Amino acid sequence: MRKAAIFDIDGTIIKGISSERVLFYYLLEKRVINFSSLLRFAAAFLRKCFSLKGLSFRKNKYYLKNNDYENIIGNIDECFHKRILPHISEYALQEIKRLKNEGYLIILLSGTLSPMVECFTKVCNADIGIGTKLAVDNEGRITGEIDGIHSYCGGKVKIIERLVSEYSLDLSSSYGFGNAYVDVKFLRIVGYPVAVNASPMLWLYARANQWKMVTF
C-alpha cells in the first residue's frame, strides 16, 4: 500500500487569502462578471435556501453562469500567476518536496475551483490535485452548478475514500495538512494530522488531541 500526504490549499499552502475570492475580484476588475452575475449568485443562494437544497454558500457558482468555460480557465491561469502565486508559502513547498522525496504521494485537496487547483498542482509538483468541478452545458458554458462531490468539509472525506480505493492508500501511515476546523473531518482519518496556521477552533482541537501544529 502507498502512503500519502494530503494538503488543503487555502490557509494552508497559501496564508491570509482565499484563492476563489481573489479570482472573484479579478474577474470583476476585468468585467468578465458584472452586476447581473452578482444578482444570479444572490438569487440562486436564496432559492436554494428556501428549497432546503444545497445550503452551502461555497457551492454557489452562479456568479460564473453562462461564461465560456475555456475563457474562465484562461482567466484563472492569469489570476493565479499575477495575484496568487506570490502568496504560496516557501515552507509549504519545502515540506511537499521533502515528503515527495520520502516516497509520499502528494495530494492537493481543496474546495476551490478545479482549474485553480491544477495551477497549484503544477507549481507544487503534486501528484494529484482535486478541486470543485464546474458543471458545463453542451455548448461549453458554465451552468452555475457543481459537477460531482464538493471537495469541502465532509466532501473531502468522500474523495479521500475514493482515492484509497484507486491508489491503494494506507491512511494510517499518511499525513494530512489543514488550517480550519472544517478540515478536522479529513485530518482525523489519517495517521499523522498536522494543523497548519491553525484557526482558533482547530488550534483548540489539535491541542486537545495532541496533533502536531506548524506555521507555514
**Lowest-confidence segment of 24-38, 68-82, 92-106, 107-121 by average pLDDT:** 24-38
The CB-side HSE value for 15 (13 A sphere, CA atoms) comes to 12
| Residue 57 or 133, more confident | 133
pLDDT, tens only, 39-65:
555 555 545 544 444 444 456 788 898
Mean pLDDT of 129-147: 95
The single-letter DSSP state of residue 183 is G
| Residue 59 or 135, more confident | 135
Using CB atoms within 10 Å of the CB of residue 168, give its burial: 0 to 12 exposed, 13 to 18 middle, 19+ buried: exposed
Average model confidence (pLDDT) for the chain? 91
Q: Give residue 39's pLDDT.
A: 52
Q: Give residue 61's pLDDT.
A: 85
| Residue 134 or 56, more confident | 134
pLDDT, tens only, 164-182:
999 999 999 999 999 999 9
Q: How confident is the model at residue 135 (pLDDT cuts 50, 70, 90)?
A: very high
CA distance linking residue 107 with residue 105, whole number of Å: 6
Q: Give the fold, CATH level 3, of 4-214.
A: Rossmann fold (3.40.50)
pLDDT, tens only, 32-42:
986 554 555 55
If we measure between CA atoms, which residue out of 210, 167, 215, 162 comes closest to residue 187? 210
The answer, yes or no, to whether residue 149 has pLDDT greater than 50, is yes
Mean pLDDT of 141-163: 93
**Lowest-confidence segment of 4-18, 38-52, 200-214 by average pLDDT:** 38-52
The set of residues, in sequence order, having a beta carbon less than 8 Å from that of 128 and lying 6+ positions away, is: 105, 106, 107, 108, 121, 163
Tell me if 10 sits within 8 A of 181, measured CB to CB: no
Mean pLDDT of 185-211: 98
Q: Give residue 104's pLDDT.
A: 99
CA distance linking residue 100 with residue 94, whole number of Å: 10
DSSP class per residue in 82-140: IIIGGGB-HHHHHHHHHHHHTTPEEEEEEEEEHHHHHHHHHHHT-SEEEEEPEEE-TTS
- Domain ranges within the chain, ordered by starting residue: 4-214
Q: How confident is the model at residue 14 (pLDDT cuts 50, 70, 90)?
A: very high
Q: Give residue 109's pLDDT.
A: 98
